[in-house]
Amino acid sequence: MIARDEISRLGAAGRSRRLGVAFLFGLAALCGCGSPDSSPPGRTSAAAEPGNRTEESATPIPQPDQAVSDDARERDLELGSAQKTDYLALQASLRSALSQADPSIAAMATYTDGTVTARDAASLLRALGSAAEGAVIFVPSDGLIDLTGHQRIEIPAGVTLASGRNVDRAKGALLFTNDPDATLFVAGAGSRVVGLDLMGPDPSPRSYQLERLYQEGGSDLYYAVPASIGIYSEADDVLVENCELWGWSNAAISLGPGAQRARIRHCFIHHNQRLRLGYGVHLDQADALLEANLFDWYRHCVAGSGRDGTSYEARFNYVLPNASGHAFDMHGGVDRNDGTDLAGDSILIHHNIVEAAQFPAVVIRGRPTGRVAITDNQFRNPDPARTIVLQGGAEGVVDTGNRFGVSSMRAK
């Protein structure tokens, strides 16, 4: 059994540091957390497929003459078991801590109704198909909608798809698919997804099966296995807020070329952990702000392709310890095999709490062209060199105010 304890103070210097201190020190007496139970009530369909083939493996893929790793077997046997945790209460504690620091960051959108109400798949698809800019399509919090068989459902520009998560402790309507290759929603410019529970078809790492597949047929066979994406966009100003996103084997949220100024806020993003994929948020020539999110059971919380135009800022996120890879990632040329060492543009990682100590917290696999700042974070791993890994070198990287070997968790 484990419980969250009060987080140690950080020193204060300037508004940014003061804001971080208020967040970290205010995050006290968080809800209890139990031992692993069973995997979440999702489906465990056949493994799912990658949209992007440039990813390295946190667990090295065995060569044909190697046995399947014991680590992979053990991890799949555990199957990313969900902990007995009141995550809504935990997120409420995060917001309370943030409210003492910066109310604008703590503020979170909730909905109780809309311009049109959808209660089943047919009415939801009909509403989205005819929605005009400014419309709010609301799915009641007790809704359960099976979208299996529907792919790339468009959320039109300027339209909000919402439910009532965090209203009277509701989890929000559950929208799900059983399709292992699903890209469920495609978000248009200025669209918003708020207050929903979006469940994908496969919450498992599937390490054993996929390592075996790689042995038998290499990467071509490996990448023939389908994978799923919850929300995809190549549009500007997309907002995903106050949602739960889980069971997406490729990425819960994938932002492609041209997606600028995306915001992912106050979401609970977990059990997105497919071997060699498994992203909470993936960016490819896209830009996003990720703030005040809760991550668990991930391979990477945030990952970037490293191609020109790929940037992100991650701030005030809380990363729980169940991981199969590093939390914050940016690929380099070695991943793309393009002969460069380019690792994206701007990378700002600050005022985050990372409880996973078995892997690095930050890995940048080349040289970014823009500003890189990793500041005022709290890391459970006590070793700075193993926590922040800069494979392209540290020149020009701002790395200040971070605390190592500090945890907000204690044994009961």
Which tens digits make up the pLDDT trace of 337-385? 888 889 999 999 999 999 999 999 999 999 999 999 999 999 999 999 9
User: pLDDT value at position 410?
Assistant: 55
pLDDT tens sequence across 131-159: 999 999 999 999 999 999 999 999 999 99
Banded pLDDT at 9 (limits 50, 70, 90): very low
CATH numbers and ranges of domains, the chain? 107-411 (2.160.20.10)
Q: Residues with Cβ < 8 Å from 200, sequence gap 6 or more?
A: 42, 48, 176, 177, 182, 184, 228, 230, 245, 246, 247, 248, 249, 252, 272
8-31 burial, b at 16+ Cβ within 10 Å, e below that, comes to: eebebeeeebebbbbbbbbbeebe
Question: Side-chain half-sphere of 390: how many Cα atoms within 13 Å?
Answer: 17
How far apart CA 275 and CA 210 sit, in angstroms, is 7
Q: How many CB atoms lie within 10 A of CB 71?
A: 14
Look over the chain and give the mean of its residue pLDDT values, rounded to a whole number. 83
Span 34-47, mean pLDDT? 31
Q: What is the rounded distance in angstroms from the CA atom of residue 183 to the CA atom of residue 41? A: 20
d(CA 197, CA 183): 16
* Per-residue confidence band for 223, with pLDDT thresholds at 50, 70 and 90: confident
The mean pLDDT of 162-171, rounded to a whole number, is 96
Strands 311-315 and 347-350: parallel
Could you give the 3-state DSSP secondary structure of residue 214?
helix
- How far apart, in whole angstroms, are the C-alpha atoms of residue 153 and residue 150? 7
Phi and psi of 47, rounded to 5°? -55, 160
Instruction: Identify residue 8 by its one-letter amino acid code.
Output: S
